[in-house]
A and B are shown apart, each in its own frame.
Chain A
């Protein structure tokens, strides 16, 4: 059952990501991203991270993607124009990405017995486990994130303000 669900949603996730890159209209890309995010949420759930799965759906598939589509519609963005892109991207980029994928696949397949396995559905990460990490061990990074958000807001206002 778990394996079947994993295969379905893992496949959906990869297909959505590919579609995101291949689509030429931003709205289609954004919708594919929703598919990716939601499939990821199911994968988290399969790994026993129920809270993370719920947060993924609410925050990423919900709030952030709605904002994405709003922005695209507000800007009334049309189809992208295809350019040939840079040659360096083709010469170095694709082999580089392929090599990385190859190495990581190799490690995971070759050393799978060392890596240990998460027992699917066996252990649930409870909300209290999660909050202990978030509000105790990683309290400072959590709080400092507010400065990060502040900077982003300030920058958006500064860059978007009309010149007088």
Chain B
């Protein structure tokens, strides 16, 4: 941090905060019935600037700022870019789906920017207190955004459920931090690992790690902390679901990677079996739960539980390859899930007119573009080659196999097979001969923001599926900054199983 001005290390966060405040201040100045869309475009510009700033941070020498509370390195840049990209696509989708004078649209844009600030701080924070505050910012914004469908009873239900359970989970996370502090006397993530070896009470740190795992397990909706997911996703507006099923989860996974691999590698024999079970149960429960769902958002909620499971498989690998695979998977899942929710948002609007699988019957005939995009994202979610979903799963399972996690890999592969069924059901439905339905006739014409959003998501999914090399290289660079080779030695990786 010798010559780099400190503010450069948090530049994307600063940009998004300023833009969020500007939107907040400009909103009351607009006439009551004026369109709120200019505010959305302002948010898009801010997010683009934040995206550029994140890329630019790659040029900075890796290092910390603000007395060692934030760190910019390849790992943080990877997740910053990911989060900024998700937010960008979400803003475009919201611009497309919302009525221009819709209630609270200005607040929705501002909250989206602020939530991104929180998530970005989670991924670059190396001080547990900063991570906690970032987590709170991101969580509280998403609790509020989940309740924006005020006219439907499901909106407030979704928001309150998410808020109560989420606060409970955050309390666990905080308790975990307190116990880790009790064992080591520090909350700086890099310092914990060293102090843990001399700690008089490592058992306290183990319980602390379990608490942190509970808190973050809730945020990524891993079994057994997943009960909230379907209800919350069903009640929240579709663009918001696209955001909250990907960005906060990516940020929580980044935090989990940092804490487990940088702070607590010494305790790996304790947390690795826990993660193993969480991964296996999440995959199985998520996919079996999705089989029975008729509501598309509930179905994708279960699918999101399952994908959290696949991602956790990479955690058990205990190698830089595993970290890289987890980062890559977070990215590939985000692109396809944001993309599929872009389709749902446009077809159903903010108010969710189309809810059931059979409502989408004939979508591809009514709008070939939407149908095509839906099919493409579903294929990627299944994990068929030439899509990001394929390479995501491939790297995850390869990393797990290299570390001797044969059974977990088999469970994962069987689950991928089960998952085909419910994804294909939606695909078949959208390509079936249309029955005449008023629902599909209500789909508005495609607008420029939606085209942009689809372009971003489809292009990224394709790039990840065809030429994943450069992205994977960045993910690997990030993984190397996280595990300085000595922290987890390869000879102990095969201890489980």
Count, chain A residues at interface, CB 8 A: 29
Does residue A138 face the partner (Cβ distance < 8 Å to B)? yes
A-B complex: 3 closest residue pairs judged by Cβ atoms: A155-B144, A114-B200, A158-B107
Most buried by A among B134, B148, B150, B201: B201
Chain B interface size range: 35 or more
Interface set of A (CB-CB < 8 Å, partner B): 100, 103-104, 107, 111, 114-116, 136-141, 144-145, 147-148, 150-152, 154-155, 157-159, 161, 163-164
Most buried by B among A100, A103, A144, A155: A144
In the bound complex, residues from chain B placing their C-beta under 8 Å from that of A136 are 67
Q: Which of B121, B129, B144 contacts A158 (CB 8 A)?
A: B144
**B140–A148 CB distance below 8 A:** yes
In the bound complex, residues from chain B placing their C-beta under 8 Å from that of A151 are 111, 114-115, 118, 137, 140-141, 144
How far is it, in angstroms, between the C-alpha of A158 and the C-alpha of B24 when the chains are bound?
11
Give, as a whole number of angstroms, the nearest-CB distance from B99 to chain A. Answer: 13
Q: Which of B17, B140, B150 contacts A152 (CB 8 A)?
A: B140
In the bound complex, residues from chain A placing their C-beta under 8 Å from that of B134 are 144
Interface set of B (CB-CB < 8 Å, partner A): 10, 17, 20-21, 24, 32, 66-67, 69-70, 103-104, 107-108, 110-111, 114-115, 117-118, 121, 127, 129-130, 133-134, 136-137, 140-141, 143-144, 147-148, 150-151, 159, 200-201, 203-204, 207
In the bound complex, residues from chain A placing their C-beta under 8 Å from that of B127 are 138, 140-141
How far is it, in angstroms, between the C-alpha of A138 and the C-alpha of B132 when the chains are bound?
13
Give, as a whole number of angstroms, the nearest-CB distance from B425 to chain A. Answer: 30
**B121–A155 CB distance below 8 A:** no
In the bound complex, residues from chain B placing their C-beta under 8 Å from that of A138 are 67, 69, 127, 129-130
In the bound complex, residues from chain A placing their C-beta under 8 Å from that of B32 are 164
Q: Could you jot down 8 A-B contacts, CB within 8 Å?
A: A138-B69, A148-B118, A148-B136, A150-B21, A151-B114, A155-B111, A155-B144, A158-B144
Closest to A152 in B: B140
Give, as a whole number of angstroms, the nearest-CB distance from B57 to chain A. Answer: 16
In the bound complex, residues from chain B placing their C-beta under 8 Å from that of A114 are 200-201
In the bound complex, residues from chain B placing their C-beta under 8 Å from that of A107 are 201, 203-204, 207
